[in-house]
Amino acid sequence: MTRPVPVGRHIVIYGPSGSGKTTLSRQLGEKFGLPVLQLDAVFHAHPNWVDLSREEFREQVSAYLAAQPEGWVIDGNYSMVRDLILPHAETAIWLKLPWRIVYPRLAWRTISRAVVSAELFNGNRETLKQTFLTKDSMLWWGIHAWNKHHAGVGETLADPALTARVYRLRTPGQVRYLLENSTLAPTGR
């Protein structure tokens, strides 16, 4: 027997690099007709990985939130804007999949993008040199940031003041179940 999974019209998705945040955010956005914001595309605003300052990033996210009062799906782990997003979120989804699933996905995605020089956003590309020969490698980032991500998001989502409903998804099957069975809950949490 399947049970509906209520989600609000303001959804934030967290997860380590390679966990499927962007895929799930796009799918939920399409399912519910909600605009989707990928925080990486905002933060990495200029070609050659020239990023916004903290203040510029916060301004951009605040402006987006103000412009989308009817709902949104936002994916990304940036702690510097969680305090802006979470008070408005009705649902927080944490893709807490195991390392053995996430890291191979990240490696495949990163190497595939580098081989074809695919543009990610705003003229930024992952290169083979960056992937294998620099400290900016996503392969290194995936290892280095794993524990920090889990500690930070875990602490954030454990805050008793958080009013969003929280879903911690630990398997690809749970992610599919949420996507297939999610329904819009009445507003007001």
Q: What is the pTM of this model?
A: 0.93
Angle in degrees, CA 51, 15, 12, rounded to 5: 80
Encode pLDDT of 3-27 as tens digits. 999 999 999 999 999 999 999 999 9
Average pLDDT over residues 69-75: 97
In order of 121, 129, 165, 177, 182, the CA distances from 185 in angstroms are 32, 46, 11, 16, 9
Q: What pLDDT is attached to residue 156?
A: 95
Encode pLDDT of 73-111 as tens digits. 999 999 999 999 999 999 999 999 999 999 999 999 999
Between 2.60.120.260, 3.20.20.70, 2.40.30.10, 3.40.50.300, what CATH number should domain 5-98+146-184 receive? 3.40.50.300
Q: What pLDDT is attached to residue 132?
A: 87
Query: Helix 172-181 and helix 21-32: axis angle, to 10°?
Result: 10
Using CA atoms, how far apart are residues 149 and 142, in angstroms rounded to an integer? Answer: 10
